[in-house]
Structure 1
Amino acid sequence: MTDPDIPPLFRISAPGKRICFWGAPAHVPAYRSLAEGLDATGANTGNLFIGHGLFHGTDCLHKAFHPGFGAIPAERLHEHFDMLFVPASNFVGNGVDLTVHAEYFERARLPIFCFGLGSQLKPGEAPALKPGTEKFLRLMSERGGSIGVRGAFTAEVLWDMGIRNTSIVGCPSLLGLRAGTLARLATARPGLERIAVNFSNNVRRHALHPDAMRATENALFQRLLGENAYYMLQNEQPEMDFLAAMAAGQGDRAAAAARSIADLFGVSASRGELRDFVERRIRIFFSVEDWVGCMGTMGVSIGSRFHGNVAALLAGTPALFLVHDMRTRELCELLRVPHVMLDRPRPAEEVMERAASLDYAPFLAQFRRLGIEWRLFLERNGLGLGFHQAEMAEPVAA
C-alpha cells in the first residue's frame, strides 16, 4: 500500500474559484444502518470513488457539496459559488429522471463542469430519455466548454442527440492515482493466495449477454467458496440483508438471506462452505480510504464491478475486469486495463488463469496519454491541470 500522504499525480486547478459539487458523493456521514449508509452513497458504494476523486482532486479557493435545493434558492447560488462541478455517473439512461435538477440549475446560471458522464443504453437501443434528463444534459453542454464522458460509446450517444462538445476522459476516480501505485502496478505479480472478488449479480438484466454473465459469475463464486477470498459488496441486497440480520442477531432472517444468496449463485444452501463464506468473507465499505486500504492487502481483484476494481488500482493491486455491459466496456477499452468479455460462459479456471497473468503495461502507457487528454479537456472548461510528477507531463512518443 502506498503512502496516502504522497499527493496524487494530478490536480485540477481552479484558482480563486468557489466550487459547488453536485452528483456522486465523496463521503458518507454517520449512519444508523447499512440501508441508510447505502442511501447516502446514491444507492451504490462505487459512486464514492467518482465523487471522492473529483472533490479531493480539485484545488480551488473554496469547495463544498451542494447543501440541498431547499437550503439555497437557485437564483442566489451565484452568491455562494462561482462554478458547478458534476461528478457524474450513468445519467444517460432511459430510467433516469433529472427534471428537478435541470430546473434548479437552469435558474442558477452557473458554469457547469461535468466529468465522468456515462450511458446506461445497450448497443442499438434507441434513447428514450425523460424530458428533464435530456434538458439537464443539454444544459451541461450549453454551460460548459466540454462534457467529460467515460468512453466512445457515451460520446456517440450524445453525438446522435446533437451534443457534440464532449471529451473522452474516463472516470474522475482515477484522479486518486499516485506515483507509488503506478510503480507497484508496473512490477506487481498477481497473487491468488488472497483474492478480492466483486459481482454484479443484481444487475444482470443490463448485461449484453445475461446468460453468459450469470454462468461466469456463478462458476467463479462457487470456485472461490473454498479459497482465501473476500467478497466486496456495492449494493447487492440479499448480501447486505444478511449482514444487517447478523448485526441484529436475527438468525431466521440471516438464514433466509443466505438461501437467497445461494439461489442467486446456483449453489446449494446446505453447502457448508457457503455459510462460512457469507459470515466471514463479505465486506462493505462506506469510506474510500478504508476500501483502498483493504485492497492494498489483497493479491489480486477479480470482478464485474468497475469501481470495485478501481479500489484495487488505487492501492496498486492488479485487477481483472469482467466486462458485461457497455458502461464497463467503454471504460476498459479506453483505459486498456486487463479485461475479459463475458460474451460466453467463462469457466472459473479460465478466469483464474487469466487473473494470474495480468499485464498492466498497456494501462500505464495509456494513462500517460490520458493525462494529456485531461489537460486539453480542462483547458476547454477554463481550468488547469497540475502535474506532481514532471515525467507525466512529457509528450508521449507515438
Structure 2
Amino acid sequence: MTHPDMPALFRISAPGKRVCFWGAPAHVPPFRSLAEGLEATGANTGNLFIGHGLFHGTDCAHKAFHPGFGAIPAERLHEHFDMLFVPASNFVGNGVDLTAHAEYFARTKLPIFCFGLGSQLRPGEAPALKPGTEAFLRLMAERGGSIGVRGAFTAEVLWDMGIRNTSIVGCPSLLGLRTTTLERLAAATPSRGRMAVNFSNNVRRHALHPEAMRACENALLQRLLGENAYYVLQNEQPEMEFLAAMAEGRADRASAAARSIAELFDVSATREDFRSFVERRIRVFFSVEDWVGCMATMDVSIGSRFHGNVAALLAGTPALFLVHDMRTRELCELLRVPHVMLDRPLPAEEILERAAEVDYGPFLAQFRRLGIEWRLFLERNGLGLGFHQMEVPQQVAA
C-alpha cells in the first residue's frame, strides 16, 4: 500500500478560511452495532470515500463537519465558519428529500462549494424532485461559482432544470490518489490470485438493464465461490444481517440471512462452498484507511460498486467496473477507467478475462487532464489547487 505520509497529487487550497463540511461523512464514530455504523455512513459505506476525499484533501485555517442543525442557529453559522463545503452524493433523485437542509442553509450567509453531485435518474426519466431538494440544488447554484457534478449526464439533468453553472469533475474520492498509487496501477498485472468483488444486488431496480445485471452478478458470484475471492459490502441488507447475526452468535438469524443471500444470487443455500463463502469471505469496512489497506492486498477488484472499486484504485490495485446505471456510467466514461456495460448476460469467465486485461493507460492520461479541469473548477469557486508533478510512465501514457 502507498504510504499515508506520501503527498497527495492534489490539494484544495482555501487559505485563512474556516470551512464547515456537510454531506457525505469522512469518518464513523464508535458504534454498538453494524446497523448503527451503517446509519452513520449515510446508509452506504461508499459515502465515506466522498467525505474523506474532500475533507482530507482540503487545506484551510480550520475545518469541521457541521455539528447538527440544533447546535448552531443558521443565522449565526457565519460566526463559526466562512464557507460551506458539500461532499455530495446522489442528491438529484426523485426519492431524495432535502427540505430541512434547504431551509437551514438558506438562512445562513455562507458561500457554498459542492463537489461530486450525481443523479439517480434513468435516461429519459423526467425529474420529479421534492420541492425542498430542488430548492437546495438551486441554493447551491446561487451561492457557489460552479457546482461540481460527477459527469455529463448529471450536468444535462441540471441544465434542463435551468441550473447552468456546473463543472464536470467526477468525484472528490479521487483526491486521495498519490503518485506512487498511479505508478503501482501502471505496473500492475491483474491476476486471479486474490480477488475483491462487490455487487449492487439490492439496487438492481436502478439498472439500465435489470435482468442482464442480475444474470451477470449472479453468475460472477457463483463462479467465485471456490476462488480466493472476498465479497466487500456497502449496504446490502441480507449480507449485513448475516454478519450481525454471526457477531451476536445468533445461528437462527444467520441461517435465515444466508438463505436470503442465496435466493438473491440464485444459488442453493445448502451448498458447502456457498456456506463457506458467506461465513469466511464477506467483509465490511467503516474506515477508509482499513478498506484501502485491505485492497492493497488484492490482485484485482471487480464489481458494480463505484466506490468499492475506488478503494482498490487508491491502493494501486487495478479494478474492472461493471456498469449498470447512469451513476456509474458517467463516472467511468469521464475517468476512462476499465469498465464493462451490463447490457446483456455476460458469462462469468468473460468478466474474469476482461479483468485480467484491464489497461489503466487511458485513466492515467485522463487524470492529467482532469487536474486542469479541477483547477478551473476551484478558481470559479474562489479556491485554489495545489498539485505535485505527476509522472505518467511512458509505457502507459496516451
Q: What is the match of residue 373 of structure 2? A: 373
Deviations 1:240-259 (A, max 9, x none): 10000011110111000000
Shift of 1:389: 2.4
Q: What is the match of residue 278 of structure 1? A: 278
Describe how 1:313-392 pairs up with structure 2 within 5 A. 313-389=313-389
Whole-angstrom distance in 1 between the partners of 2:382 and 2:56: 19
Q: What is the match of residue 81 of structure 1? A: 81
Whole-angstrom distance in 2 between the partners of 1:77 and 1:23: 16
SS in 1 for 2:81: coil
SS in 1 for 2:107: helix
Whole-angstrom distance in 2 between the partners of 1:21 and 1:293: 25
Shift of 1:3: 1.0
Describe how 1:221-240 pairs up with structure 2 within 5 A. 221-240=221-240
Output the amino acid matched with 2:59: D
Q: What is the match of residue 104 of structure 2? A: 104
Gaps of 5+ in 2: none
Whole-angstrom distance in 1 between the partners of 2:2 and 2:128: 44
Shift of 1:75: 0.1
Deviations 1:108-137 (A, max 9, x none): 121000000000000000000000000000
Q: What is the match of residue 120 of structure 1? A: 120
2:231 paired with 1:217: no
SS in 2 for 1:270: coil
Deviations 1:149-189 (A, max 9, x none): 00000000000000000000000000000000000111101
Preserved CA contact (<8 Å) 2:368 2:390: no
Q: TM-score scaled to structure 2, two decimals? A: 0.98
Whole-angstrom distance in 2 between the partners of 1:358 and 1:391: 20
Percent of aligned pairs with the same residue? 87
SS in 2 for 1:108: coil
Shift of 1:388: 2.3
Structure 1 residues 300 and 65: CA distance shift in structure 2, 3 A: same
Deviations 1:305-343 (A, max 9, x none): 000000000000000000000000000000000000000
Gaps of 5+ in 1: none
Q: What is the match of residue 161 of structure 2? A: 161
Structure 1 residues 121 and 298: CA distance shift in structure 2, 3 A: same
Q: What is the match of residue 21 of structure 1? A: 21
Whole-angstrom distance in 1 between the partners of 2:346 and 2:303: 12
Deviations 1:356-390 (A, max 9, x none): 11100000000000000000000000000001226
What RMSD, in angstroms, separates the aligned Cα atoms of the two structures? 1.0
Q: What is the match of residue 308 of structure 2? A: 308
Output the amino acid matched with 1:193: G
Whole-angstrom distance in 2 between the partners of 1:58 and 1:249: 43
2:149 paired with 1:139: no
Preserved CA contact (<8 Å) 2:8 2:176: yes
Whole-angstrom distance in 2 between the partners of 1:85 and 1:345: 41
Q: What is the match of residue 296 of structure 1? A: 296
Q: TM-score scaled to structure 1, two decimals? A: 0.98
Q: What is the match of residue 32 of structure 2? A: 32
Describe how 1:172-251 pairs up with structure 2 within 5 A. 172-251=172-251
Output the amino acid matched with 1:11: R
SS in 2 for 1:97: coil
Whole-angstrom distance in 1 between the partners of 2:262 and 2:349: 21
Shift of 1:7: 1.5
Whole-angstrom distance in 2 between the partners of 1:387 and 1:128: 40
Whole-angstrom distance in 2 between the partners of 1:121 and 1:390: 35
Whole-angstrom distance in 1 between the partners of 2:370 and 2:339: 18
